[in-house]
Structure 1
Amino acid sequence: MNLTLEQIQDFKGKYPKQIWSLFFSEMWERFCFYGMRGMLVFFMISQLKFDDEQANLQYGATQAFVYAFTFVGGLFADKILGFRKSLFWGGLLMIVGSLILATNPHDYFFLGISFTVVGTGFFKPNISTMVGKLYKSGDSRTDAGFSLFYAGINLGALLGGYLCIAIGKGEMLSGLIPEHKRWNVAFGLAAIVMVISLVNFIFTQRQLGPIGLQPQRLNADGTFSALAKWNEYSVYILSLIFVPLIMIMVSVPQYTDYFMWTVGPLTLIYLFYEMTKVTSSERNKLWAALVFIIFSIVFWGIYEQSGGSLSIFAANNLNKDLLGLDPNGVNNSGGAFFIIFLAPIVGLLWIWLSKRKLEPNTLIKFGLGFIFLGLGYYVLFATKFFATLQGITSLNIFTIALLVITFGELCLSPIGLSIMTKLSTEKLQGMMMGMWFLASAYGQYVAGQIGAGMAKVKTGANNYDALITYTDGYKQLGLYALIAGVVLILISPLVKKLMQEVR
């Protein structure tokens, strides 16, 4: 079906029909990603016999490279592959990585993870871009489309985050799967759903018209021609070369340290150089964007304990007083569950406040995000008051903390990409989006460092002492989040001036 872009964008009703197919492709990819993410720390400790500190450092390194590589994947998609081929290539790499882990997760753990990191970098940034292309510029239905798409992301995270870890631990299907094959099946499940995602996308392509096709070369006479095939093949070869490099960087956390301490400063220096070439008004907006980027590192550094220290806490210090559910499964999928139900309600709340001219501006929402995050970590601290002498506490209270933290995510996360596009100059949009993803990478890296710091204190302690160490650490993180939120709200008048007409 050779649809034109105008035919696709001239749809009737609330949603274009193509969005449902993209919804399911993204849902199954997120199942794979969050399923893998939720298993990392627990698998490293229980199967690879890493200590808690090392597992947290490895987790932070892995997640940092996932987010850093989205910048590389997006760049290759823009310049050479196009969104469709980039997405498909990334999906294939994720399948290969999952199959390696399903075959022999103990011996080839870092190899499988490295394929997944590179694959996610090609897949993650591009399907969202195709959703945006389904709408004309200024179409008021765009936000509703992205809200639906966001629900798909979280539905995948909910299913994958719970099922994979529960199967690996033997909490589900233990009567059907031999004990020595549980982790193989758990990683294999991630591969199966990724195959479903790609098969679904193959059929979706027929309805996408020109959206996501490979870019063409502009000739001197003004016509366009296809890029030379060697460009495309070079990307495939280069991305395969990245795999062993990522494997070395991830398996030795010190190399990740060198990478993070080098890339960040160099990126800032380049940004400052570019800022000398823009107008004073544009420069002020870029300074405002930098404020959002810096605070987002702090937010994700605290928030992303879910895959690191909270995974260890859930395994060792939580009971099953919430419907008999597995604590690690709840830790991995609870946030996604709450987002599915709360995102529409929070969206309606902003609309209701806007009609009464009471809706907080972007900076205040960012500040509220930190405050809810801090309050959630104080609830995590409060789990110590429900603990037994064996260091086991209530999963119910832990889940309430996830609920409060989710309110914080909803105040901050949906705004970030939007505000970057509004504050960037036309020529620096790609770079600023890259910096936003790089900030996420730094947040993941910081999360690993924080988790490792808490684990280091815990060495040699019994389970009750470990619980006290972790909950006291969460209290500190809660305090830092509250301070960051208050600071952001206090400086909001200054940053609003820098933002000018952007709201």
Structure 2
Amino acid sequence: MWKNHPKALPFLFLSEMWERFGYYLMIGIFTLYLKDVETGFAMTEKEASDLYGTFIALVFLTPFIGGLVADRYWGYKKSIIIGGLLMGVGYMMMGIHDKSILYVAMTLVIVGNGFFKPNISTLLGNFYSEEKYKDQKDEGYNIFYMGINVGAFICNFFGAVFENLFGWTAAFMVAGVGMFIGVLVFVLGTKHYGDKTDKKGTQPGDMPFSKIVLFILLPSVVFGIIGWLIKGVASDANPEAFIFGSDSTDAFIFACIPVVLFYSSLYFRAKDDEKRPIGALLAIFAVVILFWAVFKLNGSALNNWGDKYTDREVSGLAKDVTDNIKLTKELEYKKDSVAVYDNAFRIQKVNGEVVKEVNYPLYFRNVAPEKMPKEGEKISVWASNLTQSINPFWVIVLTPLVVAFFTFLRSRKKEPSTPTKIAFGLLISALSVLVMVLAVKAGSNGSEKVSVLWLFANYGVITIGELLLSPMGLSVVSKLSPVNITSLMMGGWFLATSIGNKMSGVLASMWDSYDNKADFFWVNFGLLLFATFLMFALLKKLNAVMREKGIN
């Protein structure tokens, strides 16, 4: 696999694998931790989804500044190491059960990712700028992307075991250890990096950093504060008069305005030969926002689906195996025909008084009557965060097939352009949502649990779309960006991801407002279908720009 690629690739592959091990372990348990009423923060589905959306949005917003600092001042090596260390510390602090410390930990992860994520992707692209590796760039990014998903696949098993044995704190500590291993591996590969990690410095025509702070970052903070404070029109449906659903959502959207304007200004200030490539990238950024809005439901709405709507009971040999490796929990069934539920509380009347039982297993709320255990009987269920490993499982399985398929097309000179791959990626992703519409119908709108195979099918389809879009997006940024602003434009890709992530949180927070859960997924299907039509409409112009640059 490494034969025709730069010697640095294995180290970048393993560094990213361990970094994603930590990140996805944390993300896999984040909303479950927030909603846990006994040892978490007892948040509702709406509160947890909103905080999750804001968090992952900010995680992908900071690459804007992280890429800029690496390009002009620190270089890639220093930025990646500092970013990784900040993230590792942040993960470890998350397990400390204090809301203020949780927010500090989230801030460290947000800042750390800003320095790590765009710069390791850009560093990889630097090696493929050499003529002998130029034709392997897409393949190199696909291999790199597989490294991301190896880490994302194995981490959830570690998270489940350590959470079951020792609690949330231990699981978050394991995420931190994974991140530190990633930093160590990156440092060990130093001798293979050469001058590719060097900063590019300020180029003629670049906006001075002081002006970026004054005209971009400071206005972003000010706009964010305005978004937090300003109120819309109060109504029965919106009693607190939020403009976009919550204080954090309002603040985020307002804060993005100056940053979006800055990226737009890059096009208008660019040299004539750079305008069309920058314009093409900005168009792609706009379209993929909707992809991320739906794709990132994996950590919120789909995590919730795996937790509450999926049959997770194990028995026989499977029970013995999973019990021994601590991937399961025992739940005791308590029959009570008058009980009602609020988040993870069981509320009932005992002798006329309301009694709230903490952390009553909600798992039994929608078990099919014929599968309901007897009073006092215990069952074993596998940890719900394991559903987060389904998507990376498919990436690992399908990446070699996708790479081989496009290698075959390339040998016959029929390989589609990168924008064409992205367009078909959006179309296939839209089709994946229809699987969840069928899953809702199979479970009679959530009244009965359904097989985990529905999630396997959904993730299997959207993973094909993801492989045609996400690594291709990283590749096209590297191909089209003017040399002096490559990291900055990579930050633009992550800005689009950030906005999509926040939209994902907004979508997920609306889950409980849909009586018919199929309607929730139909909305997601509509968003992706719109993005697909838009991308195909832009395809002719985007392909023309690629040909002008002499690339595919």
TM category (shorter chain) comes to 0.7 to 0.9
Amino acid at match of 1:38: G
Partner residue, 1:164 = 159
Q: Please state how far the C-alpha of 1:437 moved relative to its aligned partner.
A: 1.4
How far the C-alpha of 1:271 sits from its partner, in A, is: 4.2
Aligned-partner SS, 1:139: helix
One-letter identity of the residue aligned with 2:18: W
Q: Which residue of 2 aligns with 1:36?
A: 26
CA contact (8 A) 2:65 2:114 kept: yes
C-alpha deviation, 1:82, in angstroms: 2.2
Partner of 1:200: 185
CA distance in 2, matches of 1:281, 1:78: 21
Query: Would you say 1:191 and 2:181 are equivalent positions?
Result: no
Corresponding residue for residue 462 of structure 2: 405
Distance change (3 Å), C-alpha of 1:253 and 1:80: farther
Question: Tell me, what secondary structure is at the counterpart of 1:99?
Answer: helix
Q: Which structure 1 residue ranges, 5 or more long, are not aligned? A: 1-11, 171-176, 219-237, 459-464
Which of these residues, 302, 307, 313, is aligned with residue 294 of structure 2?
302
Q: Which residue of 1 aligns with 2:42?
A: 49
Distance 1:144 1:166, change over 3 A: same
Q: Does 1:58 align with 2:115?
A: no
Task: Name the counterpart of 2:77.
Answer: 84
Q: Which amino acid aligns with 1:157?
A: A
Partner of 2:355: none
1:327-372 superposed Cα distances (whole Å, 9 cap, x missing partner): 6334312111111121121122223334445433334322211221
What is the CA deviation profile of residues 253-281 of structure 1, one whole-angstrom value per residue up to 9, with x for unaligned ones? 624532433423x3443444443444666
Match of 2:250 in 1: 257
Structure 1 counterpart of 2:65, one-letter code: V
Alignment equivalent of 1:315, drawn from 293, 307, 311: 307
Residue of structure 2 equivalent to 1:146: 141
Give the corresponding residue for 2:497. 440
**Aligned equivalents of 2:479 and 2:201: distance in 1?**
27
Q: Which residue of 2 aligns with 1:19?
A: 9
Q: Specify whether residues 478 and 206 from structure 1 end up closer, same or farther in structure 2 by C-alpha distance, changes over 3 A only.
A: same
| 8 Å CA contact retained: 1:297, 1:443 | yes
**TM alignment of 1:277-356, pairs within 5 A:** 277-278=269-270, 282-320=274-312, 326=382, 328-356=384-412
Higher-helix-fraction structure: 1
Rate the CA distance shift 1:419–1:134 in 2: closer, same or farther, 3 A.
closer
1:113 aligns with 2:103: no
Q: What are the within-5 Å matches in structure 2 for residues 454-469 of structure 1?
A: 454-455=511-512, 457=513, 468-469=516-517
2:422 and 2:468 in contact (8 A); partners too: yes
Contact 2:288 2:531 in 1 (8 A): no
How is 1:354-373 mapped onto 2 (pairs within 5 angstroms)? 354-373=410-429
Assess, with a 3 A threshold, how the Cα gap between structure 1 residues 208 and 327 changes in structure 2: closer, same or farther: same
Amino acid at match of 1:123: F
Deviation string for 1:109-164 (max 9, x for gaps)?
Answer: 22222212212222222223333444561223554443332222111111124432
Answer whether contact 2:289 2:500 (CA < 8 A) is retained.
yes
Q: Which of 117, 123, 126 pairs up with 2:116?
A: 123
| Structure number, greater radius of gyration | 2
**Native 8 Å contact 1:383 1:393 kept in 2:** yes
Instruction: Identify the range of structure 1 (71-80 vs 326-335) with the bigger mean alpha-carbon deviation.
Output: 326-335
The more displaced of 423-432 and 192-201 is 423-432
Letter in 1 for 2:395: I
Determine if contact 1:314/1:327 at 8 Å carries over to the other structure.
Answer: no
2:333 alignment counterpart: none
State the one-letter code of the partner of 1:368: F
Task: Answer whether contact 2:137 2:475 (CA < 8 A) is retained.
Answer: no
Secondary structure at the aligned position of 1:348 is classed as: helix
Answer yes or no: is 1:93 the counterpart of 2:149: no
Distance 1:269 1:101, change over 3 A: closer
> 2:293, 2:502 within 8 Å by CA — same for their partners in 1?
yes
Q: Please name the residue that 1:173 is paired with.
A: none
Between stretches 285-294 and 253-262, larger displacement belongs to 253-262
- 1:489 aligns with 536
Taking a change above 3 Å as real, the CA distance of residues 484 and 379 of structure 1, as seen in their structure-2 partners, is same
Q: Secondary structure at the match of 1:369?
A: helix
Amino acid at match of 1:376: S
Q: What do you get for the CA RMSD once the two structures are aligned?
A: 3.3
Letter in 2 for 1:396: L
Distance 1:129 1:284 in 2: 21
Q: Which stretch of structure 1 is more off in the superposition, 439-448 or 313-322?
A: 313-322
Distance 1:164 1:84 in 2: 29
- Asked whether the 8 Å contact 1:372–1:404 carries over to 2, the reply is yes
Q: 1:212 to 1:286 in 2, by over 3 A?
A: closer
Structure 1 CA distance for aligned equivalents of residues 124 and 493 of structure 2: 19
1:475 aligns to what? 522
- Seen in structure 2, the aligned counterparts of structure 1 residues 295 and 116 have a Cα distance that, compared at 3 Å, is same
* Residues 284 and 107 of structure 1: CA distance in aligned 2, closer, same or farther (over 3 Å): closer
**Aligned mates of 2:272, 2:115 — CA distance in 1:** 35
Call closer, same or farther: CA 1:207–1:410 in 2, change over 3 Å: closer
8 Å contact 1:370–1:481 — kept in the other structure? yes
Aligned partner letter, 2:295: Y
How far apart, in 2, do the equivalents of 1:142 and 1:16 lie? 10
Alpha-carbon distance in structure 2 between the residues aligned to 1:285 and 1:352: 28
In structure 2, what is the Cα distance between the partners aligned to 1:272 and 1:215?
22
Structure 2 unmatched runs, 5+: 204-216, 229-244, 320-326, 328-381
Return closer, same or farther for 1:355/1:396 CA change in 2, 3 Å cut-off.
same
Note closer, same or farther for the CA distance 1:274–1:199 as it changes in structure 2 (3 Å cut).
closer
Contact 1:284 1:499 (C-alpha < 8 Å) held by counterparts:
no
Instruction: Quote the Cα distance in structure 2 between the aligned partners of 1:142 and 1:363.
Output: 15
1:453 corresponds to which of 497, 507, 510? 510
Amino acid at match of 2:466: E
Tell me: CA distance 1:160–1:14, structure 2 relative to 1, closer, same or farther (3 Å): same
Distance 1:217 1:446 in 2: 34
Q: Distance in 2 between matches of 1:427 and 1:131?
A: 16
Displacement after TM superposition at 1:494 (Å): 4.8
Question: 1:36 corresponds to which letter in structure 2?
Answer: M
Separation (CA, whole Å) in 2 of partners of 1:113 and 1:273? 31
Identical-pair percentage: 28
Contact 2:29–2:385, Cα closer than 8 Å, also in 1: no
Per the TM alignment, residue 71 of structure 1 is displaced from its structure 2 partner at its CA by: 1.9
* Contact 2:149-2:395 at 8 Å conserved across structures: yes
Deviation, structure 1 residue 501: 2.6
TM-score after normalising by structure 1: 0.78
